[in-house]
Each structure stands twice: as C-alpha cells, then as structure tokens.
Amino acid sequence: MKASPNPLEVALPFTGTWKVENSPLRRVPSHGTHLLATTYAIDFVGVDDDGRTAPSVSWHTVLGTEPPDLFFSFGRPILAPVSGQVVAVHDGERDHEARRSQLALLPYLLGQQARLRQGAGAIAGNHVLIQTPDGGAVVGVMHLRSGSLRASFGEQVREGQHIGDCGNSGNSTQPHVHVQAMDRADPWTARGLPLVFRAFDERPAGSTGFIPRRNALPQEASTVRAPAPRPFQ
C-alpha cells in the first residue's frame, strides 16, 4: 500500500473521520492530470459515524445546489501535515454552493477551464503551502474556508498546528480538503511528489472494522480515522 519512489511521510491534516477520494492507489495521476503538480494528490471528505457527508438530503440534492455549511466537513479544523516554513498563503476565495446533483455538476465542470485561466487560486481555493525543513518538498492543503487561515507567509509552523478550516473554495464540488506534495512552491512549474501518511486507522469500503496503517496511503472510498495530533510549541 505504499507509494513509490521515496514517498514523503506526512501526517493527516485533521482529526476525526473522513472518506477518501482520488487516492493515488486507484490511479496516477490521481486527479487525471499532472497540471498544478496534482499527480499524487489525495482528497478527504468529512463524514459522520454512518459515513454520511451531510445530515440530510432534499430536492436540492437531486436538482440543485446546497449551502456548504450543511456538510460535516465545513469548518472542521485543518492541521499542518508537516513542520516547516509557510511559503504561500492564499485567502479571499469565496465558499461557493455545494453540488451533489448531477444536473448542477455538469455546468460547473464545463466551467473548469475558465477557472483555470483565473489562476491557481481559482482552482486550489484558499490554501497554505509549507516547505519541509530540508527544502526538498512543499506540502499544500487546499479548499480552505474563506477567512479561516491562521498561518502567515514566512511563519514556521509545527506538524499538527491548526492552520485553517475546511471549506468549499476553488475547484470543489463539496467541502473537502485536498493534500499534495510537490518539489517547489510554484504549482505551475512544480512536479508532484508521492506521499504517505505516517499513522491512521482505515476502514476499507465494504468492511466493518478499522485497521491500523503506518507510512501508507488509504484506498479509494475507504474511511480513515486520524490519531490525536502531536502537541506543538
């Protein structure tokens, strides 16, 4: 279950229970493109104990859009996956309506090229990029809630530090957090790097129990549960 070659070891950027989407174990590039260094990126959607992403469904779920704060992910604390220096912070992208409806998804997906022309922020949304102490990698967390960022450019952060909240900014159809590693801070010229998560419990799709994992990637559609974050100074 390990990514290769020489994956970067990081911590899950949250506590609680989340569902895995776009795992590199399913395919590489995980998001169908190498653009913006997303080759090995992975997404997590917050769920409740029953595996639901939201507490209810309505006609909006089938035919329209839904407010982002309906979803369990929205507003959950997002933690630094690594210690290091903050080399980019972007805020100000709005948290737009969520789309579980196929009818609402189609026009949104057709607008993706237009968002790309607006710049990386329109795709990544509000985000924080952290360079590892050895300078060999930059780890990003994307789609954060507008106005929630707690990290500043040039700041030294510690793994497990609260750096923002989960949102629905950028190229996002419902609130989630996107994690990726790359070899430099500029996503237009960076190369995506493989990563693994240091410790988590995983419940594979169709299973009833959690399995401890170390230095691994979770499978597509599995549920992960993160250990408590390390204390930081």
pLDDT value at position 4? 43
CA 31/CA 154 separation, integer angstroms: 29
Paired with 200 in beta bridges are: 213
pLDDT 10s digits, 43-63: 999 999 999 999 987 766 767
Cα within 13 Å of Cα(103), Cβ side: 8
Q: How many separate helices (H) and strands (E) can be counted in the chain? A: 4, 14
CA 99/CA 86 separation, integer angstroms: 31
Burial class (CB in 10 A: 0-12, 13-18, 19+), 118: exposed
CA 39/CA 154 separation, integer angstroms: 26
How many Å is the Cα radius of gyration of the chain? 16
pLDDT tens by residue, the chain, 233 residues: 344 458 999 999 999 999 999 999 999 999 999 999 999 999 999 999 999 999 987 766 767 899 999 999 999 999 999 999 999 999 999 999 998 876 666 666 655 666 667 778 889 999 999 999 999 999 999 999 999 999 999 999 999 999 999 999 999 999 999 999 999 999 999 999 999 999 999 999 999 999 999 999 999 999 999 876 555 44
Task: Give DSSP secondary structure letters for 70-126.
Answer: GSTTTT-EEE-SS-EEEEEEE-------B---HHHHHHHHHTHHHHHHT-HHHHH-E
Q: 3-state class of 136 per DSSP? A: coil
Burial class (CB in 10 A: 0-12, 13-18, 19+), 130: buried
CA 130/CA 84 separation, integer angstroms: 6
pLDDT value at position 233? 44
Task: From 86, 79, 75, 8, select the one nearest 40 (Cα to Cα).
Answer: 8
CA 193/CA 3 separation, integer angstroms: 10
pTM value? 0.92
